[in-house]
Amino acid sequence: MQPSPPAPTLNCTQCGGELHPDESQIFLTCPYCGATVYLDKAHVVFHWYVAPTLNETQARESLMRWMAGNQTVKDLDRKARITAQAFQYFPVWYFKRGSREQEQIELQPAAATSVTELRHISIPAGDLRPYEASLEAQSLAPSVPLEAATSWAMQGAGAGVQVLESALVHIPLYTFKYVYQNQPFTALVEAGTGATLANIYPAKAEAPYLLAGGVTALVFLSLAALPVLGSLIGSESGFTVGLTICLGLGVLAVPALLALAAWVAAKV
């Protein structure tokens, strides 16, 4: 019988102890120091999770507040129909990169997602807890290799900047699918902070505001032209007549234009 070649040595990130994982085992607790680590090919990194502070009802309330807010189209909270919701611990690669001058946290989704906004959530270091095996059933396994994520995280980094630390973090995410005007959308609620994330959503339209502003400018420009026209037609008396009409119509136009602006604000 041929002896099998020795497996590459893997050492604990925290204590340096030699790890001997079973084949296909990726989530691991160090037998020497108890650190939770993740094995990505030949790399051993710390494995953390962020505990949810919101339950499902609170996550839904957080979504509703975002839908009722200023970014989204008016009454989205009442007009959108939520079609599905699910909870999962989603994997992100967590990099501390920096130079001697400054350090910075970079996040990269460690699994496929349409919501790349995920990169911009904030994970305070104090919220990181050692990953627990009991969360595995609710956790999505990473599918983006650490090395690929590292090279993305280092894109645009200046000279002298390097990755000081990398870790795998499972973050608590509620995924909501909803339909608005027959179009499907996805929004995520990060259950650590309650932040709502979405790349594409029914946004407030700008066109009606621009149109109302344009109408207002046109009306006042036309009114201002009246005295000028008057003076061209009938010199001094023409100017007075033109000015009188201009002021008279102006007094009428102001409330009408204000009403238009209010109507647009209420509709959009």
Minimum gap (Å) between residue 27 Cβ and Zn ion? 14
Instruction: Select from 14-22, 100-108, 203-211, 239-247 the region that touches Zn ion (CB under 5 A).
Output: 14-22
Which span sits near Zn ion by CB under 5 A: 9-17, 114-122, 145-153, 171-179? 9-17
- Report whether 97 contacts 164 (CB < 8 A): yes
User: Quick check: 15 binds Zn ion (CB under 5 A)?
Assistant: yes
- Is 14 a binding residue for Zn ion by CB under 5 A? The answer is yes
DSSP strand pairing (43-50 vs 162-180): parallel
Interacting positions 27-86 with Zn ion (CB under 5 A): 30, 32-33, 35
Question: From the CB of residue 171, how many other CB atoms can be counted at a distance below 10 Å?
Answer: 26
Nearer to Zn ion, 17 or 234 (CB): 17
Stretch binding Zn ion (CB under 5 A), from 11-19, 48-56, 133-141, 180-188? 11-19
Nearest-10 Cα torsion for 79, 84, 90, 96? -10
Beta carbon of residue 135, minimum distance to Zn ion (angstroms, whole number): 20
Residues in the chain: 268
Q: Would you say 130 and 149 are in contact if contact means Cβ atoms under 8 Å apart?
A: no
User: C-beta of 44: minimal distance to Zn ion in Å?
Assistant: 9
Q: Give buried/exposed letters for 80-109 (b at 16+ CB in 10 A, else e).
A: beeeebebbbbbbbbbebbeeeeeeebbbb
Nearest approach in angstroms of CB 35 to Zn ion is: 5
Please report, as ranges, the residues that interact with Zn ion according to CB under 5 A: 12, 14-15, 17, 30, 32-33, 35
